[in-house]
Amino acid sequence: MSAATSRLATQADSADLGALFHENAVHYFGDKAPALDAMVAHVRDDVLGPRANVEILLAEQAGTAIGFASFAVVHPAPDLTGQLFLKDLFVTAAARGAGAGEFLLRALAKIAVERGCSRLDWTAEDYNPRALALYDRLGAKRLSEKVYYRFDGDALKAFAGGD
């Protein structure tokens, strides 16, 4: 990946990051994705706003945003350290296959080391063979001992309400 840079996103990146989030939503949800203007407002007000509970690493090439990684450092982790958990990694269609995903993962690994984390963890969809191939090629260890659980939608609301 030539001349790419990465940095933590700020409020000034709301439009670029909103566009990346929108492309991500279209990629995964098609015509059910929120409108671009709604996504930019969400990024500005929530993701990068005062209620932010995640950090966003932004990848750029020649001044253009080409991808992001949303992450958080969580505790506890082994040996009184933190665990950097990658929530989502996304690279624009135009930048895929050129090393942008690996670039973002390596930048996250550097952040994890700088912050004293002992692990970098993430999940991947089993229906995304390109992502799985990338992670395998990089030497990331697949864990068979973890099971991913989720509450969402009405089930989340019912559980939160104690029903």
Q: Could you report the per-residue pLDDT of 132-153, keeping only the tens digit for each?
A: 999 999 999 999 998 889 999 9
Contacts of 127 (CB under 8 A, 6+ apart): none
Report d(CA 23, CA 30) in Å as an integer.
9
Is the pLDDT score of 98 beyond 80?
Answer: yes
Mean pLDDT of 102-114: 96
Tell me, what's the pLDDT at 119?
Answer: 94
List phi, psi (to 5°) of 29: -120, 0
Tell me, what's the pLDDT at 115?
Answer: 96
Asked if residues 83 and 77 have their Cβ atoms less than 8 Å apart, the reply is yes
What is the tens place of the pLDDT at every residue in 35-82? 999 999 999 999 999 888 999 999 999 999 999 999 999 999 988 999
Is the pLDDT score of 3 beyond 90?
Answer: no
Helices (H) and strands (E) in the chain, counts: 5, 5
* % of the chain at pLDDT higher than 70: 98
Asked if residues 47 and 18 have their Cβ atoms less than 8 Å apart, the reply is no
DSSP H or E run through 69: strand 64-77
Spans of all domains in the chain: 4-160
Tell me, what's the pLDDT at 148?
Answer: 87
Asked if residues 57 and 13 have their Cβ atoms less than 8 Å apart, the reply is no
Contacts of 14 (CB under 8 A, 6+ apart): 40, 43, 44, 48
| 145 φψ region: left (φ > 0), alpha (ψ -120 to 50), beta (else) | alpha
Tell me, what's the pLDDT at 83?
Answer: 95
* pTM of the predicted structure, to 2 decimals: 0.90
Helix (H, G, I), strand (E, B) or coil at 77: strand
Mean pLDDT of 30-37: 95
Tell me, what's the pLDDT at 162?
Answer: 76
Superfamily of domain 4-160: Gcn5-related N-acetyltransferase (GNAT) (3.40.630.30)
Tell me, what's the pLDDT at 43?
Answer: 95
List phi, psi (to 5°) of 127: -95, 15
Helix (H, G, I), strand (E, B) or coil at 53: coil
